[in-house]
Amino acid sequence: MWQKFIRFLKEVRLELTKVTWPTKDELIGSTVVVIILSLILSAFVGLVDLGLSNISRLILK
């Protein structure tokens, strides 16, 4: 059982050497895009929620 686990870890390590890791600039750029899109999406969801709650309040009045 331990031999299989050790072999698995060696294979994982080998595969990780084949990975093309992003550069620092690519990583920063992707992070900025994710943060901006998250802010835009959260603002949109907040506005939709506000609108729907106002509509439901008017209907239930």
pLDDT in tens, 2-43: 999 999 999 999 999 999 999 999 999 999 999 999 999 999
Is 29 part of a structural domain of the chain? yes
Domain count, the chain: 1
Is 39 part of a structural domain of the chain? yes
Residues of the domain holding 31 = 23-61
Predicted pLDDT at 54:
97
Chain centre distance of CA 7: 31
Predicted pLDDT at 56:
96
Is 8 part of a structural domain of the chain? no
d(CA 3, CA 46): 53
d(CA 33, CA 28): 9
Is 13 part of a structural domain of the chain? no
